[in-house]
Amino acid sequence: MSAQAERKTENLPQWKKEEVAELEELIESYESVGIVGIAGIPSKQLQDMRRDLHGTAELRVSRNTLQVRALEETGLGDLVENVEGQVGIIGTNENPFSLYKELEASKTPAPINEGEVAPNDIVIPEGDTGVDPGPFVGELQSIGANARIEDGSIQVMEDSTVLEAGEEVTADLANVLNELGIEPKEVGLDLRAAVADGVLFSPEDLDIDIEAYQSDVSTAAARARNLSVNASFPTATTAPTLIAKATGEAKSLGLQAAVEDEELMPDLVSKADAQLRALAAQIDDEEALPEELQDVEVAAQPVADDEGEDESADEDTDAEAEADDDTDDDDDDDGDGAEGLGEMFG
């Protein structure tokens, strides 16, 4: 602290010194510290907000000059430029993103008064106003609403934008909105800036869709993992997958090459058994097969095309007859084949 600042501190009244000390204690007690705007919040509602924040954050309102002094004394001079108007210092052990989300969620609708600036477009919705016919229809029309008397009440015929964001509210508009019960603004603690771990965050930095952000991070992580696996780049995360992939590829290669490895033998035997049964299913003469293979069903034959089916019917009959004759002539050969298979199958 400079000599000039020390002299200013020494000249402070005792109550101001105590106030600055309490603000410094608050700032140093929390991991995240921010400045919140409290303009337009009624005293009772502000007390309710403080109570709702209990256990999550602590809010303290003081004179701006004392807040500035406390921020500078604790090394948070980056927040000083946000100490303007009606503000307070808020501290929390949560990260600034969670604090911003909580403060935004706690805001409540409120009426807007004459002379205030519209925070967003003010729209009078289409429908029945619930107001009996009378001068009020003229008031609606004077502020730009498409209104008329219909079915015994004043109706707004279409959604009517009566003021754009950034424009000042007139007395007539404020009266109409109050009559209709429209509350176009939100009242709550407005986080202007926050500091955590030496990093300054603005509302624009903090206003993010948490779920979308988490989804983007998960997608990026999954794609990075897939890239690492496909590039065979081992990391602590991808090593188990790479090992499993290599094991599967090695096993597949061993089966294709019929490598007689102890771990592959059960699969090789199963593969050979399946090939044997497929071969046996192609043999029509069951006597040529050992008993355990005689019940194997013949594999289904491709279905013939419909075209030409009638024309070839007689030819098929003749072919079957010739096949029967060939079977009778080759009885001796079939016997030799059965003996050969018998030796093969034991």
Interval 17-75: pLDDT, tens: 999 999 999 999 999 999 999 988 888 888 888 888 988 999 999 999 999 999 999 99
What is the C-alpha to C-alpha distance for residues 86 and 66, in angstroms, rounded to an integer?
A: 13
Q: Which domains does the chain have, with CATH numbers?
A: 3-107+188-208 (3.30.70.1730), 122-182 (3.90.105.20), 213-256 (no CATH), 265-303+317-345 (no CATH)
Name residue 156's beta-bridge partners: 127, 147
* Residue whose entry in the numeric block shows the structure tokens 């005293």: 43
Interval 280-336: pLDDT, tens: 787 777 677 777 676 665 444 444 444 444 444 444 444 344 444 444 444 444 444
Query: Residue 182: is it exposed, middle or buried by C-beta count within 10 angstroms (0-12/13-18/19+)?
Result: middle
Average pLDDT over the chain, rounded to an integer: 82
- Residue 97, C-beta contacts closer than 8 angstroms, at least 6 positions apart: 206, 208, 210
Rounded to two decimals, the pTM is 0.55
Interval 91-112: pLDDT, tens: 999 999 999 999 998 888 888 8
Q: How many CB atoms lie under 10 A from the CB of residue 248?
A: 10
CA atoms within 13 A on the CB side of 194: 29
- Indicate if the pLDDT at residue 121 is higher than 90: yes
Lowest mean pLDDT among 6-10, 27-31, 122-126: 6-10
CA 197 to chain CA mean position, Å: 27
Which of the pair, 286 or 342, is modelled with greater confidence? 286
